[in-house]
Structure 1
Amino acid sequence: MNRSIRKVAVLGSGIMGSRIASHFANIGVEVLLLDIVPKEPNDAEKAKGLTTEHPAVRNRIVNDSFQQTLKATPASLYSPDFASRVKLGNFDDNLKDIKNYDWVIEVVVERLDIKKSLYEKVEEHRKPGTLITSNTSGIPIHLMAEGRSEDFKRNFCGTHFFNPPRYLRLLEIIPTAETDQSVVDFLMHYGDLFLGKTTVLCKDTPGFIANRLGIYALIQTMRVAEEMNLSVDEVDKLTGPVVGRPKSGTYRLSDVVGLDTTVHVANNLYASGEGTDESRDAFILPSVMQKLFDNKWLGDKTGQGFYKKIKDEKGKSVILALDFSTLEYKPSEKVKFATLEATKAIGEVPKRFSVLLAGKDKAGEFYRKTFSDIFKYASFRIPEISDEIFRIDQAISAGFGWQLGLFETWDAIGVKSMLGIMEEANMKPADWVYEMVNAGNESFYKVENGKRLYYDVASKTYKKIPGQDSFILLSNLSKQIVWKNAGANLYDIGDGILNLEFKSKMNTMGSEVIEGIQKGISLAEKEYRGLVIGNESSEAFSAGANLAMLFMFAIEQEFDEINMVIGQFQQTMMRARYSSIPVVTAPHTLALGGGCELNLHADKVVAHAETYMGLVEFGVGIIPAGGGTKEMALRCSDMYQAGDTELNILQTAFMNIAQAKVSTSAQEARTMNYLQEKDQIVLNRSRLIAEAKQAAIDLAENGYTQPKQRSDIKVQGKAGMALFMAGVAQMRLGNYISDHDAKIANKLAYVINGGDLSYPQNVSEQYLLDLEREAFLSLCGEKKTLERMQGLLNGGKPPRN
């Protein structure tokens, strides 16, 4: 069956239902979001004389739920405008409309009787062949399909999104024995390509994959913390970014998810594990979790859990952490372990593990205990929850935001050395691990010919991870590096295309990265036909220029050095724009300051949907001077049409820079003019470099010719400058900005309007670049700019001096 998804009906408008509806709206699908009709009007409705027959009453639940989602942060929609793609209704009046929809997703309360009752009604209205899926996180999928028609069963499946659906990449696909294989294949493909998900095929077992292992790891971590008398702050420090996991750590994650949710899943896993799970007792709640649950201290939803936020006597927000011994809250404390200190200089997460596991302090003991336990448990889950280790790793990484999956982490530690630690802790894994090692296989994964292979337990051989042909993974291409320095690697990724990868901290753009860009363009011009600039960092495409180097020159008043560095940066950006081969950038996560400027000068940008882009230099007391201010003046000039109020268009760009505004998505970056219509937005981060490569090939094959520098940029001169400076003066009089803010803003107004010109006229790019550089240099000589730079470099926020 040739399927296309144009319209999706979501049944249930709670937190998950509304957010799933929002994510489908993000990709341009028309959505129908439905919920129940209230039993009676509320007091406000009664006061207006409304009854349950009034549409406002009948749709109150769905309206309120969706409005809460629209107000929530982080935003579920790429753009507020996309809310218009979601139509609201109720089951009584609008369930009949699902006959016009291609996919029906049920997201109602986790009760089998309620779900089955709803499916009876769905069958009355859905047309044959319509996809019907459930977002359940715990109820067996096959039980929900009982009693349904053959067509329903063939087209029914579990599709378990993780919350929030926009940001967490996991989509578990759980078929039943009666689900048609074509439905499974379609959902796996659609989730990957259109929804941007890591789609993981799961068996219909309790908790599926991610929750089964993730909740086990969370509860066992809390149990070990209790045994070792570790504090909330200590555990969250140990289970955060140092091991490649989110900053939330363990206890903060529990507060965000809601302790009741964790308890519900854990109790279900305990109840369902009898006879099949050798470690089911591990799902019995640790005493502190039970106490919090009994007290209804469930986390963020109740205002307190393992953490509590209060206001101090000065009205400042203070985070308190739970003291396990007293069950009272106390100020969070700075955590320090010798083992963690020893890893500070180790930038790559996989290289930290040997140091962490060897620690002689409490941190090292904690890691040995928790890793041994979860590795043992994961090994025994094959083949129960999955036949393949890579599915387990994909699920835990995408569902919980871990940089490495469980077996990937075990590989990073060393399979044999970890076995010794596990045996010492009486945590021996399943026999198949020993069989693998005894056969001479020393890792769960390996790379051959640029493809990643996994150890297949059933066949006792290595097999290629499926789906790789759609991706380009630089981590698999170490043998294809054609040039490198301390800050960058240059890969031959095939078909005449090079890829430049930044390797500095937060991928900041210092001298090594600039050298890498120049080298990449030079080599591509000589021997290749295109250059992609992209990387696989989980932190940033590029957080901007190397501020530490700039601060050092500024504090020493080495203005000739600053002038040379900024001039070289500008020339590099212009070379990216005016090379003889196409340059395509592939931004993701953060693309700030110089990282944004590089994208502004690419022939094409292929951006991940979650790209947060902005010219943020104002915050540290300077203006964009790598061509960013020039480029925004140029883009505004290109937008002018007869009859436009040109200063209004330019003012938007001016304010974006002056407020250091960062887009909340690639879609918003487009509305801010950082991305243009020619640029491409990709939903699946894993496809980003492959899509950028294809864009470079397309440009080359379509007759790419080297463009010429522009000399037709219309600037506003004194008229625009006067208007903008008047606005700055008003902001200062109202005490909305400081004197130094006003000084920076006036410098920006001068540059973006083309300087002290008597009337609007056309100027060249180089003219504007020179103005940028002069303004930048003068601001680097300001004491208050140096204070702002120092504040950021010291790990805090720049002072608003």
Structure 2
Amino acid sequence: MKRIIKKVAVIGSGIMGSGIACHFANIGCEVLLLDIVPNALLPAEEAKGLTLESKAVRNRIVNEHLANAIKSKPAPLYHSSFAQRITTGNTTDDMARIADVDWIIEVVVERLDIKKLVFEQIDKYRRPGTLVSSNTSGIPIALMSEGRSADFQEHFCGTHFFNPARYLKLFEIIPGPQTSKNVLQFLESYAEKFLGKTPITTKDTPAFIGNRIGIFGIQSLFHLVKEMGLTVEEVDKLTGPVIGRPKSATFRTVDVVGLDTLVHVANGLYQGVPNDEAHDLFALPDFIQKMMETNKLGSKTGEGFYKKEGKEILTLDLDTLTYRAAKKASFATLELTKTIERPIDRFKVLITGKDKAGEFYRRNLGAMFAYVANRIPEITDELFKIDAAMKAGFGWENGPFEIWDAVGLEKGIELIAAEKGTLATWVSDMQQAGIKSFYKIDSGKTLFYDIASKSYQVIPGQESFIILDNIRESKKVWANSGAVIQDIGDGILNLEFRSKMNTIGGEVLQGINKAIDLAEKDFQGLVIGNQAANFTVGANLGMIFMMAVEQEYDELNMAIKLFQDTMMRLRYSAIPIISAPHGMTFGGGCELSMHADKVVAAAETYMGLVEFGVGVIPGGGGSKEMALRASDLFRKNDVELNVLQEYFLTIAMAKVSTSAYEAFDTGLLQKHKDVVVVNKDRQIYEAKKHAILLAEAGYTQPVKRKDIKVLGKQALGMFLVGTDQMKAGSYISDHDKKMANKLAYVMAGGDLSEPTLVTEQYLLDIEREAFLSLCTERKTLERIQFMLTKGKPLRN
């Protein structure tokens, strides 16, 4: 049976419920969001003469929750206009409306008695065949569906989103005793393709997979911290980006999530897994108990492991539970890994450390390896699901079994023994059989060791993915130190950046030109995409800074012209070129995407021409392109200056979209041409499909533009008056004004006496001239140096 999800009902509008509602709105669904009716009036409502029967009062809870969610940061919506897709109501008056929806998701308080009452109401009103699921984080699914109709039970299961629903990819699916296999298969497919999630079907065990392993990791750490006498700063240093974990590491993450939330799940596990060999670890250490008693719950109460006083961030002393000034954490072992780029490659070095850091990693990993191995087959039969859950739900770059592979099977077993852990029988069997790893790569696919068959099996669901790590060497056509060109099949090449932070310097520009040469000669299309954390942070600032400081202006002029010429090669190649941006897509990366034939952007793309932050204007064709795009929007009888001004402000205000959808508003992406993919894992596969489509539709090399309408003095005068007023009002600095005036000159097409049609090359030449002149300014060099050393913009 074909199933289409057009309308969704979410019952419960708290932080999680509102977040889930917003994410379904993100992907185009109509959403009905319901919550309970208040039992008393607020003073403000009484003052207005409202009663408990007033609709505004009856929907107050749901409306306040949704409004708070929409205002929260990070934003739960891809675009503010998507809120219009959500309709609110209450569970007393509006429950009958669920008869019109395709999927009902319960997100009420974690109490079985209340959930059962809600499901009784749902069973009364739902249409037969409608999906019903619970977002519970630990209540057994079997208990919730007791007493419900056969059709309800067949279409019911747990669907556990992780908070925030837009950003965290883990989507656990927990079957009930009667859940139809067709329902489970549909949810897996829908979650991956439409919701952009990593779907994992789990067993109905306490806390399922993600929280079972995640809470063990945190609780284990809490106990280890006290045993080793580590500070809060030291733990966050050891458990952050150095090992491929989020910047918030451990204690900052707990502050954001809320200590009470963590304690609730840990207490549930302590009661729910009495036979777990690590049962005692789920008991709360004394310092956590005292923090709960003194309301040190984190961000929600203003103090947790960290506390902000004025501009200073204080840290909790775990012995005295008082706050003190932060101390910088440093370890000799971490210094040994500074030259190792990939976190997965650092573990082998980290566990050899002779200091406290080395001991920490040995003990922490030994405990984790033992625990995850012993959870099979209790919580899952397949080891890859544990790794996938930790990566998608907790932001780990690598899962426990991948890390174990990195240090070696034998070494991992040694670490377990040193911690007096119990080695799982199936791992011993692997060792005796001479099998050395949990994963291997074959024909571009990732295979995992299947315990039941004692053989390697393909991880399912890779059909719609192109995993560059798996084909980088086997499908390599050409490479240098900054870029790799791979044959991804069907006549399509992929160009992957491999420079630090994917910055665009000489090596990457060489790669772009080489990829176009190869594609035009022997292939039918090119994708420019990678699977790093970010697409690219832009041009190589360090190179520009050194040339400017050394006053090597001829060389700098040549470097900028090479960048511009490369962008024009992208625009006017003989084959279709697709850009696949995601994450940070700044400066030169934004310019690259703007010159491609089509952009297949990940929904989480943060795109902007941010050059003003370092004292220059976009010099790789970005200023030219914004003038061109404005010109293409000019219509008869329009106020053309207003159109041009919007594009000017996108650059002058260094606007960065908080999603791909917002990039359409700023003109960096173009409607009816560029597309958005919700699941980043599918992005290169989808970009390849668009390249094939353009090629097979009879792609024709574009003709160079000579028809760009610029407004000359008419626009330039408007911009210069505006910057004078901004400076007079102290809104901008002298250097800001100078940059804005340079940009105005370019986008106006110079001081031409009347509107004129010009070529792209004309605009590129005055753009490059403006860029170079700004590079001679001391204040520009100060801004570039500040960005390079501090990682944030300087206003001077």
| Interval containing the TM-score (normalised by the shorter chain) | over 0.9
Q: Report the counterpart of residue 758 of structure 1 in structure 2.
A: 753
1:465-519 C-alpha deviation (Å, 9 max, x unpaired):
1011110000110211111111111111111111111111110001111111011
What is the SS of the residue equivalent to 1:568? helix
- Is the 8 Å Cα contact of residues 669 and 675 (structure 1) preserved in structure 2? yes
- Is the 8 Å Cα contact of residues 621 and 744 (structure 1) preserved in structure 2? yes
Per-residue deviation, 1:193: 0.3
Query: Which of 696, 700, 706 pairs up with 2:701?
Result: 706
Q: Report the counterpart of residue 661 of structure 1 in structure 2.
A: 655
* Counterpart-to-counterpart distance in 2, 1:476 and 1:420: 29
Counterpart of 1:651, as a letter, is Q
Q: Report the counterpart of residue 90 of structure 2 in structure 1.
A: 90
Q: Report the counterpart of residue 254 of structure 1 in structure 2.
A: 254
Per-residue deviation, 1:281: 1.2
- Is the 8 Å Cα contact of residues 559 and 777 (structure 1) preserved in structure 2? yes
Query: Which of 411, 416, 420 pairs up with 1:426?
Result: 420
Q: Report the counterpart of residue 265 of structure 2 in structure 1.
A: 265
Q: How does 1:7-18 map to 2 (within 5 A)?
A: 7-18=7-18
- Is the 8 Å Cα contact of residues 535 and 541 (structure 1) preserved in structure 2? yes
1:619-649 C-alpha deviation (Å, 9 max, x unpaired):
1000001000111111111111122111111
* Counterpart-to-counterpart distance in 2, 1:432 and 1:526: 52
Per-residue deviation, 1:426: 1.9
What is the SS of the residue equivalent to 1:89? strand
Q: Report the counterpart of residue 573 of structure 1 in structure 2.
A: 567
Counterpart of 2:591, as a letter, is E
1:303 and 2:302 correspond: yes
How many residues were matched structurally? 794
- Is the 8 Å Cα contact of residues 370 and 422 (structure 2) preserved in structure 1? yes
What is the SS of the residue equivalent to 1:296? coil
Query: Which of 721, 725, 729 pairs up with 2:724?
Result: 729
Q: Report the counterpart of residue 549 of structure 1 in structure 2.
A: 543
Larger mean CA deviation between 324-333 and 60-69 belongs to 324-333
Q: Report the counterpart of residue 223 of structure 2 in structure 1.
A: 223
Per-residue deviation, 1:422: 2.3
Per-residue deviation, 1:727: 0.9
Counterpart of 1:44, as a letter, is A
* Counterpart-to-counterpart distance in 2, 1:798 and 1:184: 48
* Counterpart-to-counterpart distance in 1, 2:432 and 2:743: 67
- Is the 8 Å Cα contact of residues 13 and 35 (structure 1) preserved in structure 2? yes
Per-residue deviation, 1:239: 0.4
Q: Report the counterpart of residue 736 of structure 2 in structure 1.
A: 741
* Counterpart-to-counterpart distance in 1, 2:511 and 2:791: 30
Per-residue deviation, 1:318: 1.7
What is the SS of the residue equivalent to 1:253? helix
What is the SS of the residue equivalent to 1:345? coil
Q: Report the counterpart of residue 676 of structure 2 in structure 1.
A: 681
Per-residue deviation, 1:521: 0.6
Q: How does 1:501-580 map to 2 (within 5 A)?
A: 501-538=496-533, 540-580=534-574
Q: How does 1:597-616 map to 2 (within 5 A)?
A: 597-616=591-610
* Counterpart-to-counterpart distance in 2, 1:429 and 1:476: 30
> How high is the TM-score relative to the length of structure 2?
0.99
Identity %: 60
> How high is the TM-score relative to the length of structure 1?
0.98
- Is the 8 Å Cα contact of residues 365 and 415 (structure 2) preserved in structure 1? no
* Counterpart-to-counterpart distance in 2, 1:587 and 1:639: 24
Q: How does 1:461-540 map to 2 (within 5 A)?
A: 461-477=455-471, 478-538=473-533, 540=534
Per-residue deviation, 1:280: 1.2
Q: Report the counterpart of residue 596 of structure 1 in structure 2.
A: 590
Larger mean CA deviation between 335-344 and 375-384 belongs to 335-344
1:20-67 C-alpha deviation (Å, 9 max, x unpaired):
000000111000000000001111111112110001110110111011
* Counterpart-to-counterpart distance in 2, 1:273 and 1:485: 53
* Counterpart-to-counterpart distance in 1, 2:559 and 2:693: 34
What is the SS of the residue equivalent to 2:32? strand
Per-residue deviation, 1:121: 1.0
- Is the 8 Å Cα contact of residues 366 and 418 (structure 2) preserved in structure 1? no
1:278-306 C-alpha deviation (Å, 9 max, x unpaired):
21111011222111111111111111100
* Counterpart-to-counterpart distance in 2, 1:670 and 1:723: 25
- Is the 8 Å Cα contact of residues 553 and 561 (structure 1) preserved in structure 2? yes
Q: Report the counterpart of residue 152 of structure 1 in structure 2.
A: 152
What is the SS of the residue equivalent to 1:92? coil
Counterpart of 1:694, as a letter, is K
Q: Report the counterpart of residue 135 of structure 2 in structure 1.
A: 135
Q: Report the counterpart of residue 314 of structure 1 in structure 2.
A: none
Q: Report the counterpart of residue 6 of structure 1 in structure 2.
A: 6
* Counterpart-to-counterpart distance in 2, 1:657 and 1:53: 51
Counterpart of 1:529, as a letter, is Q
- Is the 8 Å Cα contact of residues 609 and 622 (structure 2) preserved in structure 1? yes
* Counterpart-to-counterpart distance in 2, 1:739 and 1:27: 44
* Counterpart-to-counterpart distance in 1, 2:423 and 2:392: 24
Q: Report the counterpart of residue 185 of structure 1 in structure 2.
A: 185
Q: Report the counterpart of residue 391 of structure 2 in structure 1.
A: 397
What is the SS of the residue equivalent to 1:622? coil
- Is the 8 Å Cα contact of residues 133 and 158 (structure 1) preserved in structure 2? yes
Q: Report the counterpart of residue 126 of structure 1 in structure 2.
A: 126
* Counterpart-to-counterpart distance in 2, 1:363 and 1:230: 10
Query: Which of 763, 767, 780 pairs up with 1:768?
Result: 763
* Counterpart-to-counterpart distance in 2, 1:415 and 1:245: 22
Q: Report the counterpart of residue 37 of structure 1 in structure 2.
A: 37
Per-residue deviation, 1:424: 2.4
Per-residue deviation, 1:341: 1.2
Per-residue deviation, 1:428: 4.0
1:670 and 2:667 correspond: no
* Counterpart-to-counterpart distance in 1, 2:292 and 2:378: 30
- Is the 8 Å Cα contact of residues 787 and 798 (structure 1) preserved in structure 2? no
Query: Which of 449, 452, 457 pairs up with 2:451?
Result: 457
Counterpart of 2:453, as a letter, is S
* Counterpart-to-counterpart distance in 2, 1:211 and 1:504: 35
Q: Report the counterpart of residue 652 of structure 1 in structure 2.
A: 646
What is the SS of the residue equivalent to 1:177? coil
Q: Report the counterpart of residue 195 of structure 1 in structure 2.
A: 195
* Counterpart-to-counterpart distance in 1, 2:323 and 2:763: 56
- Is the 8 Å Cα contact of residues 419 and 428 (structure 1) preserved in structure 2? no
Q: Report the counterpart of residue 782 of structure 2 in structure 1.
A: 787
Per-residue deviation, 1:10: 0.5
Q: Report the counterpart of residue 71 of structure 2 in structure 1.
A: 71
Structure 1's unaligned 5+ residue stretches are 312-316
* Counterpart-to-counterpart distance in 2, 1:582 and 1:331: 56
1:318-346 C-alpha deviation (Å, 9 max, x unpaired):
21110112211122222211111111111
- Is the 8 Å Cα contact of residues 104 and 132 (structure 1) preserved in structure 2? yes
What is the SS of the residue equivalent to 1:673? coil
Where does structure 1 differ by over 6 angstroms across 4 or more consecutive aligned residues?
none
* Counterpart-to-counterpart distance in 1, 2:660 and 2:793: 26
Q: Report the counterpart of residue 233 of structure 1 in structure 2.
A: 233
1:116-174 C-alpha deviation (Å, 9 max, x unpaired):
01111111111100100000001011100000000000000100000000000111111
- Is the 8 Å Cα contact of residues 369 and 412 (structure 2) preserved in structure 1? no
1:442 and 2:436 correspond: yes
* Counterpart-to-counterpart distance in 1, 2:104 and 2:42: 30
1:110 and 2:104 correspond: no
What is the SS of the residue equivalent to 2:8? strand
- Is the 8 Å Cα contact of residues 391 and 397 (structure 2) preserved in structure 1? yes
* Counterpart-to-counterpart distance in 1, 2:715 and 2:660: 29
* Counterpart-to-counterpart distance in 1, 2:347 and 2:636: 62
* Counterpart-to-counterpart distance in 2, 1:121 and 1:182: 25
**RMSD of equivalent CA atoms:** 0.9
* Counterpart-to-counterpart distance in 2, 1:657 and 1:765: 18
1:409 and 2:403 correspond: yes
Q: Report the counterpart of residue 643 of structure 1 in structure 2.
A: 637
- Is the 8 Å Cα contact of residues 40 and 51 (structure 1) preserved in structure 2? no
* Counterpart-to-counterpart distance in 1, 2:642 and 2:460: 51
Counterpart of 1:91, as a letter, is T
Q: Report the counterpart of residue 366 of structure 2 in structure 1.
A: 372
Larger mean CA deviation between 769-778 and 322-331 belongs to 322-331
